[in-house]
Amino acid sequence: MPSYRTIIHRPFLSPELQTQLARFGRLQSRSGYWLLEHASPLVLETLRRELGCDVNTLPLDFAPEKTRLVVTDLDSTLVAIETIDELAAVLGLRDQVSAITARAMAGELDFVAALKERVALLEGLPQEVLERVFTEKMKPAIQPGAQATLAWLKQRGIATAVVSGGFTFFTERLQKTLPIDSSLACQLEVRDGRLTGKLIGQIVDKYAKAEFLKDLARRLRISLEQTVAVGDGANDVLMLELAGLGVAYRAHAIARERASVLIDYGDWHDLRYLLAP
């Protein structure tokens, strides 16, 4: 029979809860979480509601100890903002742009068309605003536990990457701030110190994200089963499905449906529990 491994993302369980959960299988206390090994699938949504925490069963073919690559989305995943919305806010266009962003991330709009529409609204924005948004908005919005967890991954020889339908200006600076090995994003066109409202080169849509994951796996000479992808929206669904473990981080429904596991209650610290059961 298959042996399922379910992570209960909370450090403390009352004796009563321990007794209740032990009926399903072997319950073990770990550092910051509990591991339940069991023979039959569990109804996870019920347990999440009852326990008030994330509860995730790992895929049967995923071996956490063999993980060699973690690829994460940027906006609303690695950082708690949507960068393009913050840029638009400077022009007084936050509401207009954020409405398009929300619909695109929910899968209601074509991502490429929606991105071009939003970038066009940024025409004329001074380039120095990007630096201000990075310093004042993005750096303070790095998700709780992200920096420590990325360092934890690096210590274990696990490569890290950020892939974004956002912009290279920000991903390149994050690589200097966080322990991130590689990145892929879109490039904003700048002329005479101002945004033109256009992009240069490749647009990083869901297909580009999936190819980036596969390319990194090839370069590292590992299988896709040894990879983890983290994301929150429609642009992430293909890489979530491709990876050995697809993590939906406080995600839209379209990403939640396609991911292996969900992080709703916790933060980036919880990624460690999924990789060290």
Active site residues per annotation = 73, 75
Q: Which residues contact 115 (CB under 8 A, 6 or more apart)?
A: 104, 165, 186, 199, 203
Tokens 């090994």, residue?
37
Helix runs in the chain, H state only = 15-22, 44-51, 83-90, 94-105, 111-120, 128-133, 146-155, 168-177, 206-220, 237-242, 253-256, 269-275
CB 258 within 8 A of CB 98: no
Q: Which amino acid is at 98?
A: S
CB 24 within 8 A of CB 36: yes
| Distinct helix (H) and strand (E) counts, the chain | 12, 11
CB 272 within 8 A of CB 247: no
Half-sphere exposure in the Cβ direction for 162 (13 Å, CA): 29
